[in-house]
Chain A
Amino acid sequence: MEVNPPKQEHLLALKVMRLTKPTLFTNIPVTCEEKDLPGDLFNQLMRDDPSTVNGAEVLMLGEMLTLPQNFGNIFLGETFSSYISVHNDSNQVVKDILVKADLQTSSQRLNLSASNAAVAELKPDCCIDDVIHHEVKEIGTHILVCAVSYTTQAGEKMYFRKFFKFQVLKPLDVKTKFYNAESDLSSVTDEVFLEAQIQNMTTSPMFMEKVSLEPSIMYNVTELNSVSQAGECVSTFGSRAYLQPMDTRQYLYCLKPKNEFAEKAGIIKGVTVIGKLDIVWKTNLGERGRLQTSQLQRMAPGYGDVRLSLEAIPDTVNLEEPFHITCKITNCSERTMDLVLEMCNTNSIHWCGISGRQLGKLHPSSSLCLALTLLSSVQGLQSISGLRLTDTFLKRTYEYDDIAQVCVVSSAIKVES
């Protein structure tokens, strides 16, 4: 990690050690039975070994902490902790020691030192210690610059710097997908489901402590990643509480536009801001990391100029028995429309009522509700099609097919209509 070795002899030596969390020592248990040659010897040796667990010497995972042996990897969102030690290697007293630690990235330079005051004097073989912490907020090359200035006994002012370069890597890969609600009911249609796929790009297992979606001002969010079991909130991931390196996990959220924005959401076009993901994770012995994604955006599905959605429709109807649906027609364009409704029959769907009637003028961003009656002549899951709206101003016709499904059962099974 060290980039510049010192060129002249200094009285003080600067050493830096990254403080990742310690690891637990693992033993190698070797046992035998009483009747074997060594008798109890092997067990005795394990009992004498200070790093085995008292009373459970065969357990490999001991309790002895071992300091980190190398710099390791560091990921965006983690906290970089480091021990900085300045040691007086000489046999004279050194005065006015100032230790500064800065972190240089491609975009900025941050001061990390806990104190900016100079230490009056440092006796031989003594040291000045500092532990610095910094939450890493950028990816890429970082340089820890440690500068030491001091005055020798003879009054000479000395100065040296050491540079420690390290790379900050990307810890997670986040992919998002938006799904529109399957239902055709407009009360539900404006719901958007967000699937967030999170992949562990680090080299160690990761515990996802919190993955939450902070919605933008337009939406309310319901997280769908836990269920209530016996009164307790249980994660949908069950016993697989952690992510191995390269594992991916999917999180699901349901976003509903707030009431005051509901109308607007129905006719919104283009890009809307949905919210952002806030992710907190932990690795070895509670080493913490935190990331927020940028604002997630969604391309609103195009509804065209005129949107037809369903307000009410039964799930199941009887064969050849008329049933009612309620449609909502919304003018999503900028101009007033004069609409004419035509109903076309299909093989299975037969509309009741007058086709070709005028619905009246519809202003931009407003809607009207329409009750229609129809029946089906074929059993099974039928698709409702055949509505045509014509704007008489522009003489443009909009076709609406497969607007909803309904289950048609034979009259032998009577359905309460």
Chain B
Amino acid sequence: MLRFLGEKAAAKRQVLNADSVEQSFVGLKQLISCRNWRAAVDLCGRLLTAHGQGYGKSGLLTSHTTDSLQLWFVRLALLVKLGLFQNAEMEFEPFGNLDQPDLYYEYYPHVYPGRRGSMVPFSMRILHAELQQYLGNPQESLDRLHKVKTVCSKILANLEQGLAEDGGMSSVTQEGRQASIRLWRSRLGRVMYSMANCLLLMKDYVLAVEAYHSVIKYYPEQEPQLLSGIGRISLQIGDIKTAEKYFQDVEKVTQKLDGLQGKIMVLMNSAFLHLGQNNFAEAHRFFTEILRMDPRNAVANNNAAVCLLYLGKLKDSLRQLEAMVQQDPRHYLHESVLFNLTTMYELESSRSMQKKQALLEAVAGKEGDSFNTQCLKLA
């Protein structure tokens, strides 16, 4: 920011940082929700230091608590959201494979008398597994996810047989057990979702599609979205006929739904099908139809503009995207929209640099500190 617009402009940016909020979980949540994730990462670091952990303290005798682990999880999750995968990997290292003795309740009998099991948040395990695929090791991700899935399945099996999670005698009420079954079922579903995503990243489309089909069993309310997603995968490999079949299935499923969401999904799929058949004009018509029903639909807006470009209407396309961004920068300032804008500016004229700078100014005023300036291609 400083580099491009100078100090004065950088000062104009009113952004919350780690100092301007309460030094607690409350302050942390504030920073997260207004997208000041770098500040949030900082604050996590501070709070961890207060716990006796954090910077420069790896190698010393650990003393984890559920709170400290939550702070680590949030810090690592935000690093991933910021795209700082290498940093996240480094900070995950001292935790090994998340099964070290000092990560279990039994290690701290004075702090957690009688409690048993792992203190590691389940979501942290998912994060730990998924991180590898963003570092270019999707096979490692898959392996780790398989391990998590195996454990979830075993626990679920134990619970369904009336035992406790670890296979011992159950000492909870029927209600408690049901709640636990629901929890572990949802965790199993979450793992399967991750696995499907990972297979997709690995471009193993046959397995990815199978995996997404399994996910539907755990998230039946997401059936139309998942079927649409599989349709899109088919489009990506060039199998237009299969995509069409899936989109027809989506239509059947959404007929029972009321409200706009179902209709919009069907229109979106039709638009994509036309794209696959090289019919940009028809695709544009469908995206525009969605905007009539839902004027704030960012995807339809962006995609309609993209179609205009392919139809030879650069100026119209730019106008549509710019209007979208100006109307509600908070909502629409997204990496891919900006990517498209800058690509079109490059095509439009030799004065693209100025326009990009103007964009950066707009962004600076509205976004948190989490914005990825790379998508503006300012070099």
Interface on A for B, CB 8 Å cutoff?
A: 13, 15, 17, 19, 21-22, 24-26, 28-33, 36-39, 41-42, 44-45, 48-51, 53-56, 58-69, 83, 85, 87, 89, 126-127, 129-131, 205-207, 209, 239-242, 244, 281-288
Contact = CB atoms under 8 A, between A and B. Distances in A.
Nearest to B29: A41
B203 A244 contact: yes
A130 B71 CA distance: 55
A327 B232 CA distance: 60
Given A41-B32, A67-B339, A205-B205, A24 B77 contact: no
Interface residues of B, number: 81
B17 to A, nearest CB: 18
A55 B303 contact: no
Interface stretch (B57-65, B150-158, B161-169, B237-245): B237-245
Given A30-B80, A37-B25, A55 B236 contact: no
B32 to A, nearest CB: 5
A55 B127 CA distance: 21
A54 B232 contact: no
A240 B349 contact: no
B339 to A, nearest CB: 6
Interface of B: 25, 28-29, 32-33, 35, 70-71, 73-74, 77, 80-81, 83, 121-123, 126-127, 134, 190, 193, 197, 200-201, 203, 205-206, 219, 221-222, 224-226, 228-229, 232-233, 235-240, 242, 261, 264, 268, 272, 275-278, 298-299, 302-303, 306, 309-315, 331-332, 334-337, 339-340, 343-344, 346-351
Contact of B313 (A15, A26, A39, A129): A129
B232 to A, nearest CB: 6
Contacts of A64: 298-299, 302-303, 334, 336-337
Given A131-B312, A286-B235, A63 B303 contact: yes
Which among A48, A206, A281, A286 has the highest number of chain B CB atoms within 10 Å? A286
Given A15-B348, A64-B336, A284 B33 contact: no
A154 to B, nearest CB: 22
6 contacts: A30-B77, A39-B29, A50-B299, A51-B298, A53-B228, A242-B205
Which among A49, A83, A89, A241 has the highest number of chain B CB atoms within 10 Å? A241
Contacts of B349: 13, 15, 87, 89, 127
B197 A60 contact: yes
Contact of B310 (A19, A51, A62, A239): A19
A15 B347 contact: yes
B343 A67 contact: yes
B28 A37 contact: yes
B290 to A, nearest CB: 10
B242 A83 contact: no
A83 B312 contact: yes
Contact of B225 (A59, A241, A287): A59
B242 A241 contact: yes
A41 B36 CA distance: 13
A32 B71 CA distance: 13
Contacts of A37: 25, 28-29, 70-71, 73-74
B303 A87 contact: no
Contact of A55 (B35, B193, B197, B222): B222
B65 to A, nearest CB: 12
